[in-house]
Amino acid sequence: MSETVPQHSASFRLKAFSGKMPRPGNEPDFDTWRTSVDYLLNELSLSESHKMQKILDSLLPPASDVIKHVSPTAPASECLRLLESVYGSVEDGDELLAKFINTLQDPGEKSSAYLHRLYVLLCTTIRRGGIAESERDRYLLKQFCRGCWDNALIVELQLERIKADPLSFAELAVLLRTAEEKKTSKEERMRKHLGLGRPSPTPLKLRTITHQQSAHFDNSLEVDATNIQAFDNPKQKVSKQKSKTQYPETSEADALKKEIMALQSQITAIKTAADQEARERTEASELQQLKGQIAELKVQLATSGAQKKQFQKSPQQSNNPSDFGVSRERNGRQKTTELRTNRPRPWYCFRCGDDGHLAIYCENAPNPFRVEEKRQNLREKQAEWDLRNGGATVPLN
């Protein structure tokens, strides 16, 4: 009596695998094909002979030549062991675990496609003993949160909070695809409402990879991981290294640069204002010094003019007592004027402190310390002069 096979199991068909190098574009790699076989082996409604038959039907030369001499009644595990030895990864569990942890989302890759790629590598790691089967969901969710660059999506789905009780691969994939579909629909509505053009099309290679992964996920018993082959390509490794340094840290670095430039502008403005204020104070001080110097020069000029007139008169002696008194008074004034004229004067520049020129003609930089030093020396000389001449001085003003 023939075995009865459920309809959904009978309609299930594995993708063809030949093991050719280079791999045909419509053919999965061995790890992807092996993951699909795991689903088949876990199907309890199929007998061992039906499982073996489906595996044989999916193989093409030269892969079929490897198991040509295997008995049709042999268990499927025997067939898989031979294929694993020829086409499987030679990396052990620890190496695969390290590779799994270092697998990050590529530029332009959807979050759901990244999850598919992680899951295929996780299945291979579990088969090689790198991760326990009971830790499958926990490792998958943890690495997805670590390697996915879409932080807004992680926060929206609260994936960090459910690490203690992680979702299965199927549940997590449905959540991601639903969120991506909502985001795409919202962006489309926004573009239509605002009259914006459609975004630049996705590169052909990336569209092909994404389409293959989405179509493979729709078949609940097959998982496509074409990106793993691209991950092994050295060019993809270079792109991946660039993405780790440029995406998404680039936007954050640009924001920090803009903030630094703004702070530098504020500091420059503050320094400019402080310099302007100091310049105004210096100019006010110089103006005050110039006014004082002008006043002293006016006094000196008036004194010199009076002396010149006095010497030009040539006065004569007079026997008149009143004339004698006037002469004495004039002599006293002349003596007082001479004393006041001989008193030390500030013959230095009130701007830079150097001798030989006035502040109004000074082109040197202001030197208030030197000016103050000259002023102190002048006061000491004037005090000594006052002591020698009896302290009788006439104020300038």
Q: pLDDT category, 211, cuts 50, 70, 90?
A: very low
Residue 226 is predicted with a pLDDT of 43
Q: Are 35 and 232 in contact (CB under 8 A)?
A: no
* Within a domain: 197: yes
* Within a domain: 150: yes
Return the higher-pLDDT residue of 198 and 284. Answer: 284
Residue 270 tokens, joined: 């503050």
Q: Are 143 and 103 in contact (CB under 8 A)?
A: yes
Return the higher-pLDDT residue of 388 and 314. Answer: 388
Q: pLDDT category, 328, cuts 50, 70, 90?
A: low
Return the higher-pLDDT residue of 340 and 278. Answer: 278
**Among residues 147, 85, 146, 94, which one has the least CA distance to residue 125?**
94
Query: pLDDT above 70 covers what percent of the chain?
Result: 72
Measure the CA angle with vertex 187, ends 183 and 192; round to 5°: 150
Tell me the pLDDT tens digit for each residue of 141-166: 999 999 999 999 999 999 999 888 89
Residue 317 is predicted with a pLDDT of 46
Residue 393 tokens, joined: 């001085």
Same-domain status, 278 and 177: no
Return the higher-pLDDT residue of 337 and 25. Answer: 25
**Which 8-state DSSP code applies to residue 4?**
P
Q: What sign has the CA pseudo-torsion 197, 199, 203, 206?
A: negative
> How many independent structural domains does the chain possess?
2
Same-domain status, 229 and 304: no
Peptide bond preceding 395: is omega within 30 degrees of 0, i.e. cis? Answer: no
Least confident of 11-15, 178-182, 367-371, 372-376: 11-15
Max mean pLDDT range (68-77, 93-102, 194-203, 343-352): 93-102
* Within a domain: 258: no
Q: What sign has the CA pseudo-torsion 47, 48, 53, 58?
A: positive
* CA–CA distance, 355 with 373 (Å, rounded to integer): 13
Range of the domain at 303: 274-310+323-388
Same-domain status, 218 and 294: no
Q: Are 79 and 69 in contact (CB under 8 A)?
A: no
The model scores a pTM over 0.75: no
